[in-house]
Structure 1
Amino acid sequence: MSAPASARRLPPGPPATRTVGLLARMARDRLSVMTSAALSYGDAVRLPLGPKTLFFFNHPDHAKRVLADNAANYHKGIGLVHARRALGDGLLTSEGELWKAQRKVIQPVFQPKRISRQTGVIAEEAAKLVARLRSRAGTGPVDIREEMTELTLGILGRTLLDADLGVYDTIGESFEVVQDQAIFEMMSLSAVPSWLPLPQQRRFRRARADLERITGRLAAERAAHPSADGDDVLSRLIEATAGEPDEAVRRQRMRDELVTLLLAGHETTASTLSWTFLLLDQHPLVLEKVRAEVLEVLGDSQPTPENLHRLAYTSRVLEEVMRLYPPVWILPRKAQQEDEIGGFHVPAGAEVLICPYTLHRHPEFWDAPDRFDPERFAPGRADKRHRYSYIPFGAGPRYCVGSSLGTLEALVVLATVVRELNLVKAPGYVPKPEPMLTLRVQGGLPMTVHPID
């Protein structure tokens, strides 16, 4: 049934004559495009981008409609669809019955009881990080983003795969190349043939082959040496694909799932931790409060599920970091059928964007939205806020499956580091957000290490 005439009003936006300029700005600074669009046109904006017109909605009610109330109408959209050429059909990019089957296989690994049991493993890896950083004290700046990437890959290997990823010394670089290619596919709308012998395409093919080799080896080793309880991701994927008669298809499914899970899983937490240490350096009073709480609650003891819940202020700091720099900064969707959002008509086939980065800074829902203020999440204040004004891990059926592990990881690592070290931004360094698959610190994060004992 067609929408009534009253619902066919389209959102305002820049004229089509500005397409070339918008495309150039989108390639150069995606966050400024989204921010200025919301400021100039309001909570619903039409953005003409070459062959596509994007429908950008920036109100919590809009997010609720797209991500939860009418989620079945909105499949993965522009960007993620094109990133499929780089990432394959993993949980991040798949749809329909395939996505449901993948989610069913993966979901049990992230059950609260199982995640809680990983606290000791995470604490061990965090202690190793502190030891590595201590050894670098007085030697000049350390790239904290790189350290967080190595840390989170190690944690994911142990907690999800029951495997040591540290033996694969190329995995971090290969993930970096694959992510760069995914963003390139998103921005070019996959218009550049993958067979062209461009340097970037050659790097990507090498990286993809490397990840296929690594995931294949991981699967073979797990098949040869099954885990005791069989509740890790590798064991579950092996069991789920055992009935596939085509060996090539089975390997591809395994590769897609592992690459997607590891890439999205380690990148989100590494980005959050990088921004956290940067913001704490910029706000020393907040750092003092975090350290005081950690010392009072943990003392010299290791973080445990029993004492971590008492780190209330530290948890609020992480929530505020993810408000300003949400790990999932954009949620692209494609309307399967026409719809109405906020009084505006959304045609069937429309590319729809929900942007947590701008939503988390909406002045109607956040006082002084650009200010770093963890007390926004104090008891009583957060209760009055629109549920969908804060969605760092998305919302609805496709809410990030690994959010509980990522949150636990960030809390344990933050508490372990601030108890022993000060991390200070290198002089002259100016941080800038880089909106890739996650919202990371562009070009690395140089900080000097200062033990506090």
Structure 2
Amino acid sequence: MTDTQSRSGGTRRRVPPGPSRWSTVKLLDMLLRDRLALMRTAANGYGDAVRMAIGPKTLYFFNHPDHAKYVLADNPGNYHKGIGLHQARRALGDGLLTSEGELWREQRRVIQPAFQARRIAAQAAVVAEETARMVGRLRTRTGDGPVDITAQLTELTLGVLGRTLLDEDLGGHASIGHDFEAVQDQAMFEVVTIGAIPQFLPLPKQLRFRAARARLQKATEELAAHRVPDTGQGGDDVLSRLLLSVRAERDPRVARRRLRDELVTLLLAGHETTASTLGWAFYLVDQHPRVAERLREEARSVLGERLPEFEDLHRLEYTTMVVEETMRLYPPVWMLSRIAQGPDVIAGYDVPAGADVVVCPYTLHRHPEFWERPERFEPERFDRDRRAQRPRYAYIPFGAGPRFCVGNHLGMMEAVFVIAMVMRELRLELPRGASVVPEPMLSLRVRGGLRMSVRRT
């Protein structure tokens, strides 16, 4: 434990260990070039609680299941969204991912019913149908050379999102995936440069961001224009619920902005994380032939030639373990940042009001105290017996506490069905010599996309 003299005089405050302020230039360089290495280095070098001064910011990084539980679940009222929030709001407005307080609670209340287990179960056929279409597209590309798997998965997850949550066909909005890439690129650029570059400068990245944001906002307006709720209950999809909820707003401009913010957030969160997880899963499976063969055997045994049904989820046990292990190694949300609203104490260390507090699932999921051979891909670690031996908060791919991901059940069903349906008849192979590099943006994606060759089994 490190004690430092307070500015006010004789009292001393307990400060976590960490790099000296002379390391700022090196830390800034790592923040810009390799953010995952920055977090790994901090955890490996200083332990479960680390204090890092990076430019004008000082991060309090906590990397233990008990710390994650305290910040995210036990005392969430003191920890509001933090680093990157301003940049995310430029793109998403005050949607469910970026709002706080009463506005967030109202937004969550409005959309929660659309994610109830009974409704998700009823959407299993939609997920299976959209996946069958993607498998059909991939089947026609066998032997043609590498295929952009990222684009295929993005098209799939947007198709599922449109039909399950919006009751809309998003086929006319093909640019959504590319637009979100431009938005994320600019948002993360502003985070890592700590706002040093003015937003009004007409830089190419900034211009792409503005154009992409405008297209996304236009897409939400078009989606809303297709649906005018009647005076009754309306539908049970998210879009219908949102339209009904904003009718209470007296100012039509406020209503329009609320609807836009919620839909843009839903479009991002509803497709990006699942597409990223599936990309990582196909990459990892290709690197582990034993896992691929076991997946193929399970899919053929459980499904045969038919489309999966909701009841098949609990039968596709190994496929589920593969998804869970994929999210351990490459959690879609790789970092959870918060700002302390008031002073606190975590793990015996003082956390001042206004401090930037960080929990990093990417490093937490590799903590050697809770994960044997943490860098290895071993789906069997998620069997029931081994899972019961680990602390609940050693694994938080969907976050934790009140802000636990509302779409986790739909995302898991989609990922399991997609992997099973692809693996029972196709092989996705990374070209020889190709490299796959993680890119930690708002989600953890494959840098430059994932291109794989398609083969019949």
1:260 aligns with 2:265: yes
2:167 maps to 162
Identity of aligned residues (%): 62
> How far off is 1:249 after superposition?
1.8
1:403 maps to 408
1:218 aligns with 2:223: yes
Partner amino acid, structure 1, of 2:79: Y
Partner amino acid, structure 1, of 2:94: D
Partner amino acid, structure 2, of 1:284: P
Q: Please state whether the residue corresponding to 1:327 is helix, strand or coil.
A: coil
Q: What runs of 5+ residues in structure 1 fail to find an aligned partner? A: none
Q: Please state whether the residue corresponding to 1:397 is helix, strand or coil.
A: helix
1:96 aligns with 2:88: no
Partner amino acid, structure 2, of 1:263: L
Residue deviations 1:44-96 (CA, integer Å, cap 9, x gap): 00111111100000000100110011111100011123321222111111111
2:3 maps to none
Distance, in Å, in 2 between the alignment partners of 1:186 and 1:328 is 16
Partner amino acid, structure 1, of 2:138: L
Q: Is the 8 A contact 1:7 1:344 kept in 2?
A: no
1:184 maps to 189
> How far off is 1:224 after superposition?
7.2
Residue deviations 1:94-144 (CA, integer Å, cap 9, x gap): 111111111111111111111111100000000000010011111110011
> How far off is 1:225 after superposition?
8.9
Distance, in Å, in 2 between the alignment partners of 1:345 and 1:356 is 22
Given candidates 419, 433, 436, the residue that maps to 2:438 is: 433
1:12 aligns with 2:17: yes
> How far off is 1:195 after superposition?
2.3
Given candidates 320, 325, 330, the residue that maps to 2:325 is: 320
Q: Is the 8 A contact 2:436 2:450 kept in 1?
A: yes
**After superposition, where does 1:14-29 map in structure 2 within 5 Å?**
14-29=19-34
1:38 maps to 43
Given candidates 278, 292, 298, the residue that maps to 1:287 is: 292
1:296 aligns with 2:304: no
1:147 maps to 152
Distance, in Å, in 1 between the alignment partners of 2:110 and 2:196 is 33
2:129 maps to 124
Residue deviations 1:187-236 (CA, integer Å, cap 9, x gap): 23344333221211111111111111110010010117999961111111
Q: Is the 8 A contact 2:234 2:241 kept in 1?
A: no
1:80 aligns with 2:76: no
1:138 aligns with 2:143: yes
Distance, in Å, in 1 between the alignment partners of 2:162 and 2:195 is 31
Q: Are residues 258 and 226 of structure 1, via their aligned partners in 2, closer, same or farther at CA, if it must alter by over 3 Å? A: farther
Q: Are residues 245 and 415 of structure 1, via their aligned partners in 2, closer, same or farther at CA, if it must alter by over 3 Å? A: same
2:61 maps to 56
Distance, in Å, in 2 between the alignment partners of 1:407 and 1:227 is 33
Q: Is the 8 A contact 1:57 1:353 kept in 2?
A: yes
The range that moved more, 194-203 or 116-125, is 194-203
| Paired residue total | 449
Residue deviations 1:9-61 (CA, integer Å, cap 9, x gap): 11011111211221111111000000010011010001111111000000001
Q: Are residues 226 and 292 of structure 1, via their aligned partners in 2, closer, same or farther at CA, if it must alter by over 3 Å? A: farther
Q: Are residues 334 and 417 of structure 1, via their aligned partners in 2, closer, same or farther at CA, if it must alter by over 3 Å? A: same
Q: Are residues 308 and 235 of structure 1, via their aligned partners in 2, closer, same or farther at CA, if it must alter by over 3 Å? A: same
Partner amino acid, structure 2, of 1:315: T
Distance, in Å, in 2 between the alignment partners of 1:179 and 1:226 is 38
The range that moved more, 407-416 or 181-190, is 181-190
Q: Please state whether the residue corresponding to 1:332 is helix, strand or coil.
A: strand
Q: Is the 8 A contact 1:295 1:419 kept in 2?
A: yes
Distance, in Å, in 2 between the alignment partners of 1:342 and 1:173 is 42
Given candidates 44, 47, 54, the residue that maps to 2:52 is: 47
Q: Please state whether the residue corresponding to 1:9 is helix, strand or coil.
A: strand
2:211 maps to 206
1:278 aligns with 2:292: no
**After superposition, where does 1:354-369 map in structure 2 within 5 Å?**
354-369=359-374
Distance, in Å, in 1 between the alignment partners of 2:85 and 2:239 is 24
Task: Provide the TM-score with structure 1 as the length reference.
Answer: 0.96
Q: Is the 8 A contact 2:431 2:453 kept in 1?
A: yes
1:109 maps to 114
Q: Are residues 6 and 316 of structure 1, via their aligned partners in 2, closer, same or farther at CA, if it must alter by over 3 Å? A: farther
Distance, in Å, in 2 between the alignment partners of 1:375 and 1:204 is 42
Q: Please state whether the residue corresponding to 1:277 is helix, strand or coil.
A: helix
**After superposition, where does 1:373-452 map in structure 2 within 5 Å?**
373-452=378-457
Partner amino acid, structure 2, of 1:282: Q
Q: Are residues 376 and 138 of structure 1, via their aligned partners in 2, closer, same or farther at CA, if it must alter by over 3 Å? A: same
Distance, in Å, in 1 between the alignment partners of 2:163 and 2:107 is 21
Q: How much is the aligned-residue C-alpha RMSD, in angstroms? A: 1.8
Distance, in Å, in 2 between the alignment partners of 1:129 and 1:217 is 26
